[in-house]
Amino acid sequence: MAHLSIPKTYKLFIGGAFPRSESGRTYPVTDAKGNFMANAALGSRKDARDAVTAARKGFGAWSKATPYNRGQVIYRAAEMLEGRKPQFVELISTSRGSSVRSATAEVDAAVDRLVHYAGWTDKLAAVFGHANPVSAPYFSYSAPEPTGVVAALAPAESPLLGLVSVVAPIISSGNACVVVAAEADPCVAITFAEVLATSDLPGGVVNLLTGQPKEMGPHLAGHGDVNALDLTGADDELRTTLAQLGSQTVKRVYVPKGVPDFAAAPGTARLRAFLEIKTVWHPTGALSLAAGGGY
């Protein structure tokens, strides 16, 4: 009996699970030659709301995890991605028409990028925090804390490396995120979600939606429980709209300068974009004893 190939069903990734869109909608995904690849879920505004709810739940535990533990989990994701390298090389080659050599280089760079940000988790306080000189019987220090829930639009360029370059800096500092995948490459994005689902990442820390950024983006930008926006994958017109909607609830908005070169050294801009700096003052000496500690 001849073996029948099993067509893959691409769903959403919300709260650590892979549900279909609540709308039941799908859209066809084609390869670089215009041939049919698969049907992907066409996410709705309700899916976006569900993803924000899941992200808020995931943020609670993830933000309280030790930096060392977060680094271990992100490093585990790099291990899992490395183990599925042939699958991603084939996916990228098919969807983008890239050569095997180019696709392999992108997967290798994505693995390296995860390892890079895994190494940052326990260094954020040392690099972005500092002690403040005070001419009084106090000591004062500033320490970075995660912003909260970040909504991001993944770039169409470099479907895997671009996605990893957006997601990794957000979660390395303890944030949770809702990411709208590039509309043309949902297969790569949801396959990467499978990597995250098997890497000990708590449910809800990363949520991936597929479909139309112009449909889900405005709803995420105006959502009151979203704390920040990463508009890397939005065109100029959509960026303006989303930034205006985000200003109504005082969101942090990150927009890269020019066209991002994801193959270049990542720097620290994406890490700093989703950190809050908390400053603490504490009395010292006799005043500390009289006050009973600090505040």
Backbone angles phi, psi at 264, to 5 degrees: -80, 165
CA distance 213 to 179: 10
Is residue 146 included in any domain, yes or no? Answer: yes
H or E element in which residue 179 lies: strand 176-180
Compute CA distances 239 → 135, 214, 219, 256, whole Å. 45, 10, 13, 11
Residue 185: which CATH number? 3.40.605.10
Instruction: Identify whether the C-beta of residue 51 lies closer than 8 Å to the C-beta of residue 44.
Output: no
pLDDT in tens, 231-249: 999 999 999 999 999 999 9
**Number of Cβ within a 10 Å radius of residue 123:** 13
pLDDT greater than 80 at residue 98: yes
Is residue 97 included in any domain, yes or no? Answer: yes
Is residue 15 included in any domain, yes or no? Answer: no
> pTM for the complete prediction?
0.91
Is residue 238 included in any domain, yes or no? Answer: yes
Confidence tier at 288 by pLDDT (50, 70, 90): very low
Confidence tier at 198 by pLDDT (50, 70, 90): very high
pLDDT in tens, 118-175: 999 999 988 998 777 877 777 787 889 999 999 999 998 889 999 999 999 999 999 9
Confidence tier at 287 by pLDDT (50, 70, 90): very low
Confidence tier at 295 by pLDDT (50, 70, 90): very low
pLDDT of residue 285: 63
Type of residue numbered 241: T
CA distance 153 to 222: 14
Is residue 20 included in any domain, yes or no? Answer: no
196: exposed, middle or buried (C-beta count within 10 Å: 0-12, 13-18, 19+)? buried
pLDDT of residue 70: 97
Helix/strand/coil for 74: helix
pLDDT greater than 80 at residue 107: yes
CA distance 228 to 254: 8
pLDDT of residue 229: 97
CA distance 235 to 225: 24
> What's the domain count of the chain?
1
Nearest to 170 by CA among 130, 238, 211, 114: 114
Is residue 17 included in any domain, yes or no? Answer: no
Compute CA distances 234 → 47, 93, 103, 218, 264, whole Å. 19, 24, 24, 11, 20
Is residue 129 included in any domain, yes or no? Answer: yes
The residue segments making up the domain with residue 63 are 26-291
